[in-house]
Structures are given as structure tokens and as C-alpha cells.
Amino acid sequence: MSEYIEYDQDGVSVGRVEKRIFTFADPPGEMVLESGAKLGPVTIAYETCGELNREKNNAVLICHALSGDAHVAGYHDKDDPKPGWWDIMVGPGKGIDTDRYFVICSNILGSCIGSTGPCSYNPETIEPYALDFPVVTIGDMVSAQKALINHLGIPMLHAVIGGSIGGMQVLEWCVRYPEMVKSAIPLASTTRHSALAIAFNEVARQAIMADPNWNNGKYYDGPKPALGLAVARMIGHITYLSDDSMRLKFGRRRQDKSDFSFKFDADFQVESYLRHQGKKFVERFDANSFLYITKAADYFDLGREHGDGSDIDALSKTRAKFLVISFTSDWLYPTYQSRGIVKALKKNGLDVSFCEIEARWGHDAFLLPNERMTTLIKGFLAHAAD
């Protein structure tokens, strides 16, 4: 039970949650990655909400996106300025009802928020891995999650849910461990990156690597590549929004009511907003982790990795029921990509529901309050065991 109950505009929060760690793959039993490299020991940070029932069949795994973490809902402390990143969806009576489900969220392999990644200490050198950290894949991230689920003694997941890169993990779970996934909800996701998505990621990576403080990844005992990472985040953040959302939120409004500065200051509100987002990101994220996670997303190709190159062949391995959700204004992972997932699932005769939700806010719409999305997820989870 939570130590205190917090109320918010969407209902009751899960209250206080605690970050936990699970460590496995101690040498000589290192984790073998898809690249062939070995990694160990491996630490995974995770949090849980709700209670695991006696039958251990009510577990829901939530997979986070690029810059997310294990803190999906609730508070670490009463003084926290805001709750977990999907608190609007996870909690008592909410879309993912913690009165019914045992919710697990872990920080992905390669990240910098508790799990092993390039900023972790290499046991062989007692220094941060930096670029000595092996390149990881979405499949490697899911394999690490599987080790955690085994550690928790859960034989089957009631559902795996995630948006964006989290949605890639959902799809990977379904084809890699089909016997363990009863139902799946990929939101605003894809089976492979388009050239456009890869291009944006590459420009963001180049911004980091062009920062003189990046120092070929070895910046942990000196100044960080803050400017490069801030620019990378600004580039990424643009792809998460939409033309409509930026027009409604900013338009061409100036930051100050006075005339233009006639300098290279942030004259427009949108410029100031992006600079603010970049600065905030630098304070909490590691530049090398950004490189590794975006590369993992670019490498992801479900059909190539698990079939003859086609999504139909790859998804023939899964047994899960699916709810696929896209958003009208998402131009990073447009609806046609979600429809492709649905088509491949139907070709295999699988149970799949699909909804394209009208939303102005672009790719990030899955993180924002939406009554229709909440209703869909709640109803789907309730009937997934039928």
C-alpha cells in the first residue's frame, strides 16, 4: 500500500512509489547482445504499482519512450514537483487501473536513469563505459526486461503497453516471447523507422558529436556536451509536436511585447520554448545515452529481425490480442504505419482493434490527457482475458 494518497484532477494517484534495482548477468554469465558483444553485470531500474494477485496473471508491463524512465506514476516524495510521466493513465480507477493490475515499468538498457548504460561504470576499468559500451538494440532492451519479469516470478503478462519507442518494445515482446504476452497496446509507433525519422535522429546525434566537450564520449570527468545535447533535444522536440499545436501554442508571438531585438536572441515564444526544453533535458539526461537509444530505434526492423523481411511473417509468431492506436497529427509515426501493423496482424488472423484518435498535439498526444484513449485502453484491458 502507498504511504499516503494523493488526489489529482484525474482521480486518485498511486501515491508514493519506490525505485528498485535488479542486477543480473554477473560474469562469467554475461548477457549476450544481438551484436555478439557481452555485457555484465547488468542493472535494471524499475518501479511497480498495485498488487500482484495470487494467480500472478494481472501484471501489466509499460515500456517508455526515448527520454522516459521507470517512474511512470505516483511520487517518490511528497515534495516532488510532478508525478510520473504517465500518471494521467496509471492509477486507481484510471485507464490502467492499479486496483486491478500490477503495473511494472523499467528503465531501458542503455539509458541513464538507473539502468546500465554508457554512463555506468565499466567493471573492468572502474571508469564510465562511454563509447566502450556496446551498441544495444530494442531486442536487447526487451531481453533485459524479460530477465526482470522472470525475477519477479511472473509467467505471463496480462498486457504490454508502450508509445513511440515503447511501442517498438511492445512489438518486440510479442514476437520474441509470444508465450508470455496475452495482450498488447502499441501507441503512436511503427515496425521500422522511415528515412525521415532516421534523418532527424542523425542530425540530433551529429549535434552532440560536434560539441567540442563531447570529447569522443569521454566527458564524464569534465564539462559535458551541454550545447550539443540541448540542440539534439530541440530537434527531437519539434518532431514530437505538430504544425497545428505549434500554431495554437505559439503562432508568431514574440517573447516580449517590445519590437525585435535585431540580435540572435529568442525573439519568438517558440524559440524561447525550445531553448527551455533543451536546457531542462541537459540537466537530467546523458548525451551518450541519447546516441545509443536513437541508434537502437533506427536499427529496429521487426520484419527483418524476425521474419523474411515482412511484418506479416514476423507477426505470425505472436498470439496476443492487440489494440493499436495512432493520432491524426502524428507526422513522426503517421497513421499509415499503424495501419500497416493492423494489416499484418489481420493477415495472420489475429484479434486486433484499431483506432486513429483525432488529436492536434502531434506525436506527444499519447502522453496527454485524452478521454477516448483512456476509455479504449481501460475497456481493452478489461476484456483482454476473454
Whether 56 and 127 have beta carbons less than 8 Å apart is answered as no
Domain membership of residue 255 (yes or no) is yes
Spatial distance between the Cα atoms of 145 and 180, rounded to a whole number of angstroms: 12
Question: Is the residue at 369 inside a domain?
Answer: yes
Written as nine digits, the cell of 213 is 566537450
What's residue 323's pLDDT?
A: 98
C-alpha cell belonging to residue 56: 500472478
Same domain, 281 and 173: no
* pLDDT over 70, % of the chain: 97
Q: Does 177 share its domain with 219? A: no
Q: Tell me: the pLDDT tens digits for 126-162?
A: 999 999 999 999 999 999 999 999 999 999 999 999 9
351 contacts 384 by C-beta, under 8 angstroms: no
In three-state secondary structure terms, 345 is helix
296-354: per-residue pLDDT in tens? 999 999 999 998 999 999 999 999 999 999 999 999 999 999 999 999 999 999 999 99
Average pLDDT taken over every residue of the chain = 95
Q: Are residues 188 and 213 in the same domain?
A: no
| 2 part of a folded domain | no
Q: Is residue 261 part of a domain?
A: yes
Work out the number of other CB atoms within 10 angstroms of the CB of residue 171. Answer: 30
**Residue 7: predicted pLDDT:** 43
Partners of 322 in the β-ladder: 184, 352
Residues 287 and 324 in one domain: no
Q: What percent of the chain has pLDDT over 90?
A: 91
Mean pLDDT throughout 284-291? 98
Check whether 1 has a pLDDT greater than 50. no
Q: 228, 262, 294: which is the final residue of a domain?
A: 294
Report yes or no on 210 lying in a domain: yes
Instruction: Mark whether 86 and 166 lie in a shared domain.
Output: yes
CA atoms of 306 and 192, how far apart (whole Å):
12
User: 378 and 275: one domain?
Assistant: no
Same domain, 84 and 228: no
Q: Is residue 378 over pLDDT 60?
A: yes
| Domain finish residue from 266, 294, 322 | 294
Does residue 6 register a pLDDT over 70?
A: no
- In whole angstroms, what is the distance from residue 356 CA to residue 221 CA? 47
- Same-domain check for residues 179 and 205: no
Per-residue pLDDT of 152-207, as tens digits, reads 999 999 999 999 999 999 999 999 999 999 999 999 999 999 999 999 999 999 99
Identify the pLDDT of residue 2. 32
CB count, 10 Å around CB of 82? 7
Same domain, 39 and 95: yes
Residue 206 and residue 181 share a domain: no
Residue span of the structural domain in which 215 resides: 198-294
Domain assignment present for 87 = yes
Q: pLDDT band for 9, please (50, 70, 90 cuts).
A: very low
pLDDT tens digits for range 198-211: 999 999 999 999 99
The structural domain count of the chain equals 2
279 in the same domain as 226: yes
Burial of residue 2 (number of CB atoms within 10 Å: 0-12, 13-18, 19+): middle
Q: C-alpha distances in angstroms, 7 versus 11, 49, 87?
A: 6, 16, 11
Band (pLDDT 50/70/90 cuts) for residue 369 is: very high
CATH number of the domain within which 231 lies: 1.10.1740.110
SS3 state of residue 61: strand
Q: Same domain, yes or no, for 255 and 329?
A: no
- Hey, which residues are catalytic here? 164, 330, 363
Q: Minimum mean pLDDT among 20-24, 228-232, 248-252: which range? A: 248-252
Largest Cα–Cα separation, the chain:
67
pLDDT tens digits for range 68-99: 999 999 999 988 889 999 999 999 999 999 99
Residue 155 per-residue DSSP state: S
Count Cα atoms within 13 angstroms, Cβ side, for 36. Answer: 0
Residue at a domain's end among 265, 294, 323: 294
**Domain of 30: which CATH number?**
3.40.50.1820
Kindly give the pairing relationship between strand 183-187 and strand 321-327.
parallel
pLDDT at 3 over 90: no
Alpha carbons 30 and 186: distance in angstroms, whole number: 30
Q: Is 24 helix (H, G, I), strand (E, B) or coil?
A: strand
Position 27 in a domain = yes
Residue 1 lies in a domain: no
Q: Which pLDDT belongs to residue 11?
A: 56
**pLDDT over 90 (residue 229):** yes
pLDDT of residue 268 exceeding 80, the answer is yes
Sign of CA dihedral 61, 62, 67, 69: negative
